[in-house]
Amino acid sequence: MQNLNQNQNQFSNTMPMNQIKVKNRGGHELFDGHETISSIINMLDQYQMYQQYIKDPELKSIAQRQASFVTQAYNTIVECYKTGKDPAVPTQQYRMTQNNNVIYGVKPGQPKKPSQSISEISDQGLSAYMLANTKTLATLLPMTALEINNPVLRRVLADSVPNFIEMSYEIFLYQNKHGYYQVPELMEQDASIMLNSYATTSQTGNMTH
């Protein structure tokens, strides 16, 4: 028994300090965090490519502002991922420039098909790629946060979700305004039936106290 204790002490003394420090971080947490950070890098890299081909100054401005905001969010998340402590720059709030006016109804247009060359890629396609990036992260961040043990990193990831939702909504509104993202409507009678399908209930119900 004495030899076993000596071997354990010797092993502890020879372990690199950086290995000892991360014992309070779960492997699943580190893997999911790694995947999320890599996805943010992918978004930023792709935004760099999109901006070379965007023609509409309004869409280019949206792409630049979103990339700048996400870069700061990336730095904050990376710092928390590495240290597990409060970041130097806390989570910020993204504010879009679009109004909330949605155009309803569907108008006929040309059928869509894949581009045959880079010159055929339009602002409609580029804004769709941007929307796919932000919606992917708006979905991935909460799934990752649910698997995080460290309370600081968990909070930072969770607090970042509304920002990616807001960025997605901003791109949707831009697309909707230009007819790229059309919103079908139900007939008024059908919509009324759907809206009145539920009723509120008592908070206490049949629960015992």
- What is the Cα gyration radius of the chain? 24
| DSSP symbol at 22 | G
| Spatial separation of the C-alpha atoms in residues 64 and 164, rounded to whole Å | 15
Closest by Cα among 60, 85, 66, 29 to 160: 66
Q: Supply the pLDDT for residue 108.
A: 87
SS3 104: strand
Q: How many helices (H) and strands (E) does the chain have?
A: 7, 0
Q: Supply the pLDDT for residue 205.
A: 59
* Structural domains of the chain in order of their starting residue, each with its CATH number: 26-104+121-195 (1.20.1260.10)
Q: Supply the pLDDT for residue 206.
A: 62
| Spatial separation of the C-alpha atoms in residues 185 and 104, rounded to whole Å | 7
Closest by Cα among 57, 196, 53, 65 to 134: 65
Q: Supply the pLDDT for residue 189.
A: 92
Q: Supply the pLDDT for residue 37.
A: 97
| Spatial separation of the C-alpha atoms in residues 170 and 62, rounded to whole Å | 8
Supply the pTM of this predicted model: 0.84
pLDDT tens, per residue, the chain with 209 residues = 555 455 444 544 554 545 545 556 788 889 999 999 999 999 999 999 999 999 999 999 999 999 999 999 999 999 999 999 999 999 999 999 889 999 999 998 888 888 888 888 999 999 999 999 999 999 999 999 999 999 999 999 999 999 999 999 999 999 999 999 999 999 999 999 999 999 999 877 566 65
